[in-house]
Amino acid sequence: MKRLLGTIAVAFAGGMLALGAHSLLTRANQSNDNTGYQLPVRMASYGEGQGAINGPDLTVAAEMTVHAVVHIKTAYERKPNYYDYFFDLRDFFSGRSQQEDLPIQGAGSGVIVAEDGYIITNNHVVENASSITVTLNNKRTYTAKVIGTDPGTDLALIKIDEKKLPFVPFGNSDKVRIGEWVLAVGNPFNLTSTVTAGIVSAKARNINIISGADGSSIESFIQTDAAVNRGNSGGALVNPNGELIGINAAIASANGYYTGYSFAIPVNLVKKVYQDLRDHGEVHRAYMGVSLSEITGEFAEKNGLKDTKGVYVDEVVENGPAQKSGIKKGDIILAVDDVTVNGTSELQEVIATKNTGEKVKIYLIRDNKPFELSVVLKEKSEQTEIAHKNSSEIFNQLGATLQQVPNDLKNKLSLKYGLQVTSLKDGILNSSGIKKGFIILKVDNKSVRSVDELGNILKAKEGGILIEGIYPNGMRAYYGFGL
């Protein structure tokens, strides 16, 4: 029996030695095999000094901003349509009146930027609203009034009657870098202030979603991957220091919900619009007077350019600031003051942050040689007057003085654009039956947003023309005449 147990023990020991040797050989072979796949394994929890990869601490930035971002609730008067005037038996039997169906509600976010109650939001959040209610993060509610709007940048300034409010300080969007961490703070889905984090994915994005009252728009969005959903519009995009670097405005989505990218209006543009709206109630837009083209690889090859840097000047507006400064067609603009520009969106953004009458330095290339010029920027409306004069023959035939529709009248009539007839003399419009106050909305089914657009439409027309519009009392009218 002892001999049997001894034999078993020896056999077991030999087996263990063999297994150990095989294991050592296997490990050696694996360590020398560069094609083998090693699954990286890390502890689920870690302590200090373990080298874990982690993002920046964003808690301070969140605490600084969450109480300065508000929820905005808007109400709109539903305009009765033709069928609303007919008796509806369903309303009779349900006991529901038409008046109960009239109000329409909307929602968005806003950012307090001054302790005395000034709040920046998107124009599309408050546009044409009959009432605006602001709810702070502490659940206190206020009635807000509109100070001014700027459809060309999709920004609006509203105000509540309160003091010593928390506010978000302005940062500098020119210093924002791709890859930088950011926080999006807003009120998605009518929730209280919500914070999401991401990075800056791109800058100077133009996604063609804004249309200004005069037919112009400025799009140079900061693109991020911070989650933004319905209700976030008008909310804050902040850096890790808690500084405002953008106003969230849009998402790239086919279904209206966040699918990966969001877009914010850069704060340097926001600051300019805010100051103008606060001081004047409207924006004084700086204007250089050039038409521009992006320089792609194909464009550079076709036009014999050495590289794709800068922005190509396609046309120079007659008597505009650029022409008076010496800028010519074919010039390549590389920078404005100390800001490098490599796309039309970037150039438009830089000019839009300037004040009218301000002198800026333009660095450009002409015939492969560097140039430096100074341009004194004019207000956009001044150039509109010039364009009006350049189309003087046509406008003399019309016999009318035209202006942009005042904001209060636009709100009353739920209009987004149009030109109002402010005076009439002998001419086509007068003889066609058009009266003073008439608002031109469309010519031959083309929307009219500015004097420039009207002039361009009429210059290209011969024969019969149909004008569609509305009077201040809400009566729509159509007029036809020949040129």
Could you give the residue numbers annotated as active site?
124, 154, 233
Q: Residue 305, Cα to own-chain centre: how many angstroms?
A: 32
* Helix runs in 33-141, H state only: 59-65, 89-94, 123-126
CB atoms within 10 A of CB 25: 10
Buried b (16+ CB within 10 A) or exposed e, 389-405: ebbeebbeebbbebebb
When computed from its CA atoms, the radius of gyration of the chain, rounded to whole angstroms, is: 32
Let me know: does 110 contact 274? Beta carbons within 8 Å.
Answer: no
Start-to-end CA distance of the chain, whole Å, equals 126
* Angle between helices 380-390 and 451-459 in degrees, nearest 10: 20
- What's the chain's length in residues? 483
| Beta-carbon-side half-sphere exposure of residue 165 (alpha carbons within 13 Å) | 29
Let me know: does 325 contact 362? Beta carbons within 8 Å.
Answer: yes
| Residue 78: DSSP 8-state | P
What DSSP letter does each residue of 366-398 carry, written as one string?
A: ETTEEEEEEEE-EEHHHHHHHHHHHTHHHHHHH
What DSSP letter does each residue of 335-357 carry, written as one string?
A: EETTEE--SHHHHHHHHHTSPTT
Which residues are paired to 10 by β-bridges?
none
CA torsion through residues 238, 239, 240, 244, sign: negative
Residue 449 DSSP SS3? coil
